[in-house]
Structure 1
Amino acid sequence: MQVERLYRFPVKGLSAESLEDVRLSPGETLPHDRRFALVQGDAPFDAAAPRFLPKQNFACMMANARVVLLHSAFDPVSGTLSLAGPDGDRLTAPTGTAAGRAGIAAFLTRFLGEEARGEPRFLDVPGHAFTDQKLKGVSLINLASLHALEAAIGRRLDPLRFRANLYLSGLPAWAEFDWVGQELLVGGARLSVFRRTRRCPATQVNLETAERDCDVPALLRQHFGHADLGVHATVVEGGRLAVGDAIELLGPPAEAESDPPVA
């Protein structure tokens, strides 16, 4: 088994950035993954006391399909974010200043048009990641499972519809579901898989046209009896990982193996 592709998504809901390698830290996402978000004006998100909120509180593919037509690029050295819309409208602004974030918020709000609610804010909250689940972590896709879905429905799907961090090869379709509760060695990092990934309406969206042209959750249920594709894991032990790195299934955590059986 090995890592075939590696991505981060600096702005929640916006485009992927391909990586060759990355260094993971315990209990964290990939560096800069889901670091920023456009928070809808009516969302109950408090930057002074950040907490997980469902994705509909933010600009995202599930609620705002047109965001796939935006191209974004984050430079972690300068801290600038570049945005380009399909109509040629462009912006490059610093994320580290209030004025820069206000400019980004205004750009994205104009793009959303009637889908913008209230006065959206573009936020970067130190220590917080705008993930789709309460635990910070890493999302993984088994490419064989994706290919099994494609074979069942008779069409190709862009893997980035699923917005995962790691895309893996070398194991049978759906075998990754057996990893829940087990640990993996991926490159130099150790991961603990904690849940299957339930797919949402975001995966319906064609990344080139922004049309909802394929009901992925319904098709998964129709052909496989569930709406899951991929798994989520937390980083237990940090380290470097890269495209091409081997993946080794380690089994349950050592403490779980040593627990006495329940009478």
Structure 2
Amino acid sequence: MRVERIYRYPVKGLTAEALEEVVLAAGETLPHDRRFALAQGDAPFDPAAPAWLPKRNFACLMANARLALLHTAFDPRSGQLVIRAPDRAEPLVGDTRTPEGRAGIAAWLAAFLGPEARGTPRFLEAPGHAFTDVAVKCVSIIGLASLHALEAAAGVPLDPLRFRANVYVSGGAPWAEFGWLGREIQLGQARLRVIKRIARCAATQVNPDTAARDADPPRWLRAHFGHAELGVYAEVLEGGRVCVGDALEPLPPA
């Protein structure tokens, strides 16, 4: 199987950033993946003692489809986050490194979300913590053959970015990745262990270009395949460089 696309998502629920290569580290996500999140005003997240919380505590596409209208870019060297909205002439340029910068980003996003912002949201970072959908730091992988099987069954094309995976691979049979559960895989120079199938939620209903809820992948998966899962999570056991064009190879059982 071949790596076709690599993405990170610096802010939970916001823009995917395409990468040509990435260096994975053992026990970590992609660098800067889900590094930041907009915590809803009623979320009990404590940056001083970060602990995993379900996605409903944060701004996310499952609950806030409007987020898909925003275009963001994060520069890890400067800490600057740029956010553009279709109805605003000037973008927001916020400094994620300072309390004032983070407060400005939170206020801008809260105003954009309007009534969907519960209470007074906080734009958060907690060093060493990732705002992932599961409690384990991992990498999400989708076999494009599985996505194409869903498209064929549903009779509609689906942008892969609806599913917000880190790595998309071509080749292999549909749903082959489900057979890797509990097994190790070689991904470029890195070695990972597949730990979980990815259950799909209402976030995948959202068109990443228009923010319209114009598809229903969870329902279509259940109707045609008897489950609502697409892709897998994998923990990084041994770090290394992964590039577009690299191979993904399931390793023999130990």
TM-score normalized by the length of structure 1: 0.95
Q: Which amino acid aligns with 1:45?
A: F
Q: Which amino acid aligns with 1:11?
A: V
Q: CA shift at 1:214, angstroms?
A: 1.0
2:12 equivalent in structure 1 = 12
Higher gyration radius (CA): 1
2:165 equivalent in structure 1 = 164
How is 1:76-115 mapped onto 2 (pairs within 5 angstroms)? 76-88=76-88, 89-115=90-116
- 2:100 aligned counterpart, secondary structure: helix
- Tell me how far apart the structure 1 counterparts of residues 124 and 213 of structure 2 sit (CA, whole Å): 28
- 2:185 aligned counterpart, secondary structure: strand
Q: CA shift at 1:244, angstroms?
A: 0.3
- Tell me how far apart the structure 2 counterparts of residues 160 and 220 of structure 1 sit (CA, whole Å): 17
- Tell me how far apart the structure 2 counterparts of residues 37 and 219 of structure 1 sit (CA, whole Å): 29
1:119 equivalent in structure 2 = 120
1:260 equivalent in structure 2 = none
- Tell me how far apart the structure 2 counterparts of residues 92 and 168 of structure 1 sit (CA, whole Å): 34
Tell me whether 1:236 sits opposite 2:241 in the alignment: no
Tell me whether 1:31 sits opposite 2:31 in the alignment: yes
2:143 equivalent in structure 1 = 142
- 2:178 aligned counterpart, secondary structure: helix
- Tell me how far apart the structure 1 counterparts of residues 190 and 210 of structure 2 sit (CA, whole Å): 37
- Tell me how far apart the structure 1 counterparts of residues 73 and 136 of structure 2 sit (CA, whole Å): 25
- Tell me how far apart the structure 2 counterparts of residues 48 and 94 of structure 1 sit (CA, whole Å): 20
- Tell me how far apart the structure 1 counterparts of residues 94 and 210 of structure 2 sit (CA, whole Å): 26
- 2:10 aligned counterpart, secondary structure: coil
2:69 equivalent in structure 1 = 69
Deviates more, 1:130-139 or 1:82-91: 82-91
1:41 equivalent in structure 2 = 41
Tell me whether 1:199 sits opposite 2:200 in the alignment: yes
TM-score normalized by the length of structure 2: 0.98
- Tell me how far apart the structure 2 counterparts of residues 141 and 58 of structure 1 sit (CA, whole Å): 24
Stretches (4+) displaced over 3 A: none
- 2:41 aligned counterpart, secondary structure: coil
- Tell me how far apart the structure 1 counterparts of residues 51 and 109 of structure 2 sit (CA, whole Å): 23
Q: Which amino acid aligns with 1:125?
A: A
Deviates more, 1:4-13 or 1:85-94: 85-94
Q: CA RMSD in A?
A: 0.8
- Tell me how far apart the structure 2 counterparts of residues 47 and 97 of structure 1 sit (CA, whole Å): 14
- Tell me how far apart the structure 2 counterparts of residues 41 and 188 of structure 1 sit (CA, whole Å): 41
2:226 equivalent in structure 1 = 225
In structure 1, list runs of 5 or more residues that go unmatched: 255-263
- Tell me how far apart the structure 1 counterparts of residues 91 and 43 of structure 2 sit (CA, whole Å): 27
- 1:185 aligned counterpart, secondary structure: strand
Q: Which amino acid aligns with 1:34?
A: R
Q: CA shift at 1:251, angstroms?
A: 3.1
Per-residue CA deviations over 1:11-34 (Å, capped at 9, x if unaligned) read 000010000000000000000000
Identity of aligned residues (%): 67
Q: Which amino acid aligns with 1:49?
A: A
In structure 2, list runs of 5 or more residues that go unmatched: none
Give aligned pairs, total: 253
- Tell me how far apart the structure 2 counterparts of residues 71 and 209 of structure 1 sit (CA, whole Å): 12
Q: CA shift at 1:47, angstroms?
A: 1.0
Q: Which amino acid aligns with 2:48?
A: A
